[in-house]
Every structure is written in C-alpha cells, then in structure tokens.
Structure 1
Amino acid sequence: MAVKGLNRPVIPFMAYLLAAILLAMTPAICLIPLVDSVEVWQGLEANTRDLRAQTESGILLSMGLVDTGLKLFDNTLNHEMEEAFGPVVAEYERAEGNPGAMDLSRVREELDGRMEIYIINESGVIEYTTYLPELGYDFREIPYFYDRITEIRLGGFFSADRVVAGIPTGEFRKYAYLPSPDHRYLLELGLAPSEFHESRMALKYGDAVRELVNLNPEILKIRIFDCLGTRIVGEECPDDDRRLSLVRQAYRERTTLEVENATARELTRYLFVDLSDNDYASDMSMVVELTYTTKAAEEKVAGMFARQGGVLLFGFALIGCLCAVAMHSLIRPVRNFVEDVDLIASGDLDHPVRVGGSEELVHLGESVSAMVGSLKETIQRVRASEEAIIRHSHTLEEQVRERTADLEESNRMTTLLLDIMRHDISNANNVANLYADLLATEIEEEAEAELLRRAKAGLAKSIEIARDVNTIQHIEGGLPSPGPVDLDRIIRAEIERSPGARITYTGRPVEVLADDLLSEVFTNLIGNAVKFGGPEVGITIRVEELGEEVVVSVEDDGPGIPDAVKPRLFERLSRGTYKESGTGLGLYICRMLITRYGGEIRVEDRPEGGTAIRFSLRRAGTGGEP
C-alpha cells in the first residue's frame, strides 16, 4: 500500500509539544488577578474583624465608665440609708426579735414614706415587708445573691447595694442591708426611685454605646440585658426566647458567644460585660447583643470577583482563540490519518493512508499499512473458520432440539405419573381409612386395637403426604396472580372443619391478596397445634390491620417449639423432635404460600407458654393489589 505525503517537510513532534506547553502556561498567568482578589478579600475580612474588635472594646470601656459614674452616685445615698436603719432596729428590739409583732407601717411613716422595709428570714424569703408585691419572694432562686445576703446576715455589718431593679417587680430602688441584732433576720431598706430618678438617669448605658455603634455601619441593632436576662436597652425581637437563652448562656459562662444567620446574612455577638463588685450584693454585669450585617462586605467581595472574573473570561477567550488556531494546524494531519483509518475500518482495505506533519505520524502510517496487510490475511483465515463454525452450529442446534423434545416428553410423563399417584393413592388411602374405621368397631382386644390405631396413624400420614404433594404441585405448576380473598370467611371455614379443636377467634371481614390455597396455611397451623398440643390445647387466632398489611397470629398454649428447631422450622422436610412430627412439608408449604402472597412468616414463643406463628398478608385495595 502506498503512503502519501512522504515528500513533505517532516516537523519533529517536540515542536508541537513545545507549542502546547506555551499555550498551557498562558492560563496560569491569568490566575494572578485571582490571587490578588483573594488577598484583597482577606484584607477586607481582617479590616472588618478589626473594626468589630475596636467597636466592642469601646463598648466595654464606655459601659465600665458609665457604671463607675452610677456607682459614685449610688454611694452618695449610703449614709442616708445607714441612718434610716435606726428606727427599724429600735422597732425590732421593741418587738423582742419577733418580726410579726413589729409595726412596719409606723416605721415607714417615721421614715417619711420614702423607703420600703423588708425582713428576710434565714431561708432567703421575704417574710415581712411594707411593699406587698415582693412579699414571699425566695432569693434562693438566685444562688449567688442568696449566698451574699446570708454572708451579710451572719457578718453583723451594714452593707449598701446599688440601685437595681427589684427582681419580682422590675422597679428600680436603692437597697441596703443590716443584720438583726440576733442575726436571725436580714433587715433591708429600699429607697423609692422618685428620690434619685432624675439625677441618676443622666447616665445611661444606651447613650454611652450608641455613639460607638453609629461609627460602625455594619451594626444593625444593639440591645443590652442585665444579669437576670431583662432587656434594658433595645427593641423586642420576634425570636426573643431563643436570643434570651443565648444571653443567659453568655452571662452564665461569662464569655462572648457568636451566632451566624447565613440566610439573613447577619452575625450576632453576645458580649459579657463584667461589672461585678465584691462590695455589693447585686451583680451589675450585663450582656450586650450586637447584630452585624455582612451584606456590605459580601457585596464588595462579589463586585471585586465580578470584575476580576470579567478580566479572566476575556483572557481565557483570547487564549482559547489562539489555542484553536494552533490546534487546527496541529491536528489537521491527524484528522486526515483518522479519516483514512475510518475508511479502512469500514471495509476498504485497499484505501491508502495519507500522512503529513511530524515524523512520528509518518512511522505510524507505515505501521498501519503493514497492519492492514496482515489483517487481510487474518480475515481470510477467519472466514474459513466461520464456515466451519456455521456447519458445526447447525449440527449442535439439531442436537439441542432433540434433547429438548426428549425433556418435554419426560416432563409430561412425570406430571402424568404424579397425577395418577395423587389420584389413585388418595383413593386407596381413603378406602383403607374407611375400612379401618369399620374394623375398629369390631375389635375388642386392646392389643389388636393398638395395632389398628397405628395402622390408621400411618394412613393419616400417607393422606397428609398426598395432600402436601398435591399442594406443592399446584404451587410449582403456576397459579393465577393473588387476588382479593375474604380472610374472615377462610378462617371461619377452617374452624368449622376442626370441630374437635378449642379455637378462639373474634375477627371481622377483611380482604387480602391471596387465593383459595390460603386455607392450606390455616389447615397446617391448626393441625400442628392439635397434633403437638393434644385435643385439649387452646388455640387463638388473631387478625391485626396495620395500614397496608394484615398480620395474622395462630397461637397455642401447647408445649412450644425447641430453640434448636426454630431456625430450620420452615425448611423443606424439616421435622420436630416429638414423636408426633409429620412429613416436614406442612410449614414449608405455609412459607411457600405466604411468600407467594408477598408476606413473611415467623415463629415466636408466647410469654405465658406455647407457640405463636405470625404471618403478614397484603391488604386488598391499598395499592398493593396487582
């Protein structure tokens, strides 16, 4: 075969490879703007974190300064409240240490009605007070506060508290404490807010932090909560219950928590502001909730990536055009080569191979030409072999047809013999059983009667085998698809055919997917229960409707089934360990039928003794019906 193009200039394949490498490096250069974008994005994130840190640091500092100012103001009321304890202690001593005998209303009037009086017992409960809304409050609900006031009660010294919100009512008061002379009670005074409200309200936590918040455009809202989780600054939110749990967690753990809402593009941080002071019973610490928006930063990043992406797309488009031109020149000789090979592959083995370009392609064309020549010779040999194979296949097909005809004839003969055996053996068994019943009325001697009973038992087993073989033949021979069958009717019919059995059944009509052979399942299960449990065995049949399934249980209070037998109970020719064991086909047939109906069958032990055989059936009319 001639090879065209051998006189054309031969270009080494390395030249093409070098061009490909140069083109492959071009996209890498385009990645430089992408790297710059990533660096800018990282810098933007760092600036955002720094701004948040500065804002939060300023908030902590501002709240600390406001608390210091409020503390100075609160301390100006200490001397007045310490002197106010004089009438209270005098009244306690007049009542000889019995708070119930104290005239607290008179003492309150003596203090010009400006202070409320509280008497807290050793259990931390407000037992007596002039301010009834807080009567009976138990400070043990706030363990750290209860421990503090207990320390004051046992210590014997005056202790002033801060202006705080009353726990039961939320009203702001200036509180102070003094133990009773006998240390059995803690005396408490609460100065009404009207005495200091206007002066103290000049300092507010919200005003102190709002200026800092306004400097950070990413903050959407700010809220401040006290140690009890009460919101003192900010508006109510729809999900306040969830947020309140985070506030209490931040206060309990005395740390900062962070929650991100990717859907709303928001970041919420809960800052714990430690304002605790061992000089006061109340903890003034707070939790600041800051909600940041991430939309602005994300939009900046998205815009930056969009611009860089446009540049990259333009660069890739330009490089793609250059690559297309280069690849066209590179693959044109290859395309010609492929076209020639396709023509050869289609059967034109005399078509010449055109090759140009690299030296390697020229050598490849020569190799293909040599291969085509060898292929011609191989095809000739293959055709000769095909003719021999065709002749042999005709002979083999004839042998297969002969074997198939013999097998079909053998199958027909087997079926005929099974039908004859089932019919004739069944008739012979029935006649022999009838004569055995007649003979039983004539025999009087016990030995002869025992032999007759054994003969009848053998006949019964033979009848059972014939019935089982007949059932298996019906199943294996193919039956129509399962259809709607009244389960209640079949169960009641089987009960009527077993008059000597003690059967309990209280079902109602329900249709399942089965056929007339379903009665064989109940015949075998009831027969096994009577056979192994004796005529006095109690049998219970239950039907449970569970959606698209119906679960049937046949239970008895007989001797039960040994654990060693249960794993192979439903296998073919599997028998029990009792002398009454049958052919070993009954439960195997039950499993074949239930499986055919699309259900499952299993054996269980009854807690009160005995055996329970349970199987499931598909309910008709629920989508499982064919």
Structure 2
Amino acid sequence: ITPADMDLVSVKNELSTYFEQPIDLYIINASGVIVASTFEAEVGMDFSSIPQFMKKLTNIRLGNSTEYDAIVTGLKLGEERKYGYIPTNDHEFILEIGINLQKFFREQEISKYPRFAHWYGQTRQDVSSVWIYDLTFLQASDIKTAIPGFSDYTYEFQEIEGRKNNLLKVYRGHDSIELAGPQKNQVTRYLYIPQINSSSVSSGLFDKVAEIVYSTGQMQIKINEALSRNIFHALLVIAVLVLIAFVIARYISRPVYQIIEDIEIIANGDYEHPIRRTKGFEFKRLQASIQKMVEKLKADIISIRQKTYELDAELQNRLRVEESLKAANHKLSLLGIITRHDLLNQITVVSSGLELIDDDIEKNEQNIKLFTMMKNSLFSIREIIQFTKMYERMGVDEPIWHNISLLIKETMVNFYSQPCEVIDNTNNLEVFADPMFNRVIYNLIENSFRHGGKISKIKFESFFEDDVALIIYSDNGSGILLENKEKIFSIGYGKNSGLGLYFIRDVLSFTEIEIRETGTEGMGACFELRIPHGKWRIRNVNP
C-alpha cells in the first residue's frame, strides 16, 4: 500500500477518539519529505535541509520503536504541537502523529514565550516590543508563524527591514547583535537562546532568538535620572567630607601642628623650650611622652658632648703619639741607613786588607782555612746588613697585585749562569701581597741552588681548593729532612745567614698567606703557599 492509497482522514477520525486535543497525521518517506498529510499546508515539506533532524528520522524509520518529541512549534502556522513517530513494517515510511496543543495552552494560560515577553516588557519601561523566534523562520513563508504563541503576544507586530537576515546571523553565530532602529530613538537587540539538551527527537533543533526593541528616549531619561542622583550623592558626600575635615582641623590637626612647631624649635637647638599644652586626653599623653623624650635627648646630648670632648682629647693624644712615632721611625731609619753605610764601608776596607795580606802570607792549610773563615764571615755580615735594609721596608707600603709568571721571569735573570729548566704552570695567577713579595720568589729559587745540590729543574704550579688558591714551588734537589721542615723557618737556622725563609714567612703573613714545606727527603724540596679568598685572582688575557 502506498501513501496515496491510504485514507488518512478516516484513520485520523478513528484515532481522534483516543485524544482530547485535535490531531493530524503525516507520512514521511525515506528522503525526509512529507508525501501525505491531513494537514495539507505541510505536504511537501522537506526535512533533508535539516541534516541533524534528518539523521534522527532515518534512525527511527530503520528501527522498530516509537519515538516521541518535545512540544515544538509547527512549521506553517506556528502552533504548539507534540509529535510521535512510528516506523512502517517495511521501513520505507514514518507515520507521524501531531497533537495540536494550541487550544489547550490558551485554556490553561500556559503560553510560556508570550508570558515571558510580556513580563520582560513590564519590568523594563524602555522596552517597546519582545518577539521570540524559533528555527522555523528558515522555511516559513510568513515569519510570524516562527513565533510560538504569536496570537498571545501583547505587542503590535511591525515589519523590520533585514529581520530574517539578522535572525539567521544570530542563529548561525550563536551570538547576540545590536542594531539601530527600526525607528528613530530605538535600538533592536537580537539575543541567542540555546535549547536545553534532551533525548527528544528535535533536541538541539529548536534554539530561539529573542528580538527586543528598546526606546533610547526612555533609556536617556533613566540615564539622566541616574546621573542626577549620582551628582546629588556626590555633592552630599563632598559636604560630609568637608564637615569631617573641619572637625579634624579643629580638634586634631591644630594640636598636631602645635606639637610639630614645638618639636622643630627643640630640634633647632632650644632644648629648654617646653611642649605647649593641648586639648584632649590623647594629646595630653602625646605631649607628656614627647616632653619625656626631649628630657632624655637632653641628657643624651650632654653625655655625647662629654664623650666627644674625651674622644677629641684622646684623638689629639694619639695624633701626638703617632707624630712622635713617625719622628722616631724616621730617626731610626736614618740611623739604620748611616749605620749600614758605615758598616759596608768598613767591610770593604777589611775585605781589601785581606786581599792584600793574602798575597804576602805563606800558603799553608791553616792560613787558607783562616782566610776562608774570615771571608765567609764578611760575606755573612754583608748579607745581614742587606737583610736589615729589606726588613726595614717590609710592611711600610700598601700591598699590591703581583703576577707570578712575570716575577718568575724577572727573578731567573739573576740566575742566568745556572743550567736549569723552569716550568711555570701558574696560569696567569696574581697574588695580593707586600711589595717585597718578589723577594719571596727570589729566596725560594736561591735556596734551591744554594742548598739543594745539583738542581736541574724547578717548577711553579697553581691549584684551587674551594676559595683558596695554592702555589706549589718544587725542585729536584736533595730535599729537606722531616724533622727540619718547620725549623727552616726559624731565624738563624741554616748554613748561611738563616734569614731567608724567616723573611719569606714574615712577608707573606702581612696578607694572611701561609707557607709550609711538604716535600720528601731525597726527592726535592716542595713549598706550598696557601692564599686566602680575596687575595688572589686570575688575570684576563685578551686574545
């Protein structure tokens, strides 16, 4: 049986006995087209233009169960209807039953959209009209049929140019827009209202768009009224603030200013000036506290002045002592210079005399031994005199930075006759030490040649332990006995003057540099210099 062979009117009349409200029947084919209906206005309607709804109809047609829809708006007359969908046994068609609920809604006064529009207009005096459209405006020949419950609205419907395009723009963009018009002093706003998700057949297909026309004249009146109220409130607040400021100035600021004036007078040196009385319990407490503080300051100032007089006297005394010490040091230094000069002259005379006598005396073992002893003594005396000259300058001048590599090169010039390999691995290390630090390098090298036996190699190396730098000086000589490692730094110890290593330790101590001997007997001497943080640096060499 084809839909054309069916008497839908007879079927409708038979089924109407089971419903309290009017019904209509529809036959939908596999293409989504209504091919037959008791409601002739909707014959030929094509649902394939609504892909989401068409997909649901296809699922119903191919299934075996009856599906029900929510209450939706009819596509032609805009009536509120509830639909049911029954697939045919051959799954070629769907029988749709639509219950017209428009009369029922009027009797029960349930027209939700018109009631909402009316309520919104009542709450806003600037609202000229409110119309709520559903998706059917896309196919409706008369756009009023896309307004659910149109006849129950209390507004007069007016044609607006571009209305359908505006509705389409809001629906597709899921957004709201606002336009001027349709009349002067009016604004039209289109609001997108999404449908609540449900399991009904048309879920998500009947979103709404509200068209609200506002009167800008009413809005301007309200804006002016609000502005007037705000100005009044602002003036009232200003008046209250002025009153508060007057009270503060009268009862708070004036006493504060008075106290400040008194404090400034005291601060300028008039410590006998009293803090004047003020009104108010708290200000009296403040006045008493400040007066107490002033008395304490006066006592402290007197004490400070007394201490200042005492410190000035002590300072003057120290200055006199320092001047005396400077004068004494100058005299001692001058005496040392004169003494050294005279001693060296006398040593030269004695040395010349020995040279003359040496040519005249008999050359035997005893005489040779005596002459050698006297010459060695004269040499030691000369070294001691030279040592006193260096020792006198030690600690006098401020420490300076010394480049180790440069000092090694300059010192080795004095030992050009010694066939020895010099290895420098100090890597541009610089040390902050007394200006006599160059004698430290000189004495270390001289001790190696003097006491180390046959020396063919000396080495300078640098290492780092946390923030401490280490300079290691070593040779390949005979080394130092274990029991002598500390004795060698004592004054007078050694085969000659015994002053070299003692002098080295004193020079290094001025900048807290430590030295010790760490070598092994028979494998050469090894001296370790420990330079503390802040007393060493690596010199940057530009490429």
TM-score by length of 2: 0.38
> Looking at both structures, which has the greater relative contact order when contacts are Cα pairs under 8 Å and sequence separation is at least 6?
1
TM-score by length of 1: 0.34
Which structure: greater helix fraction?
A: 1
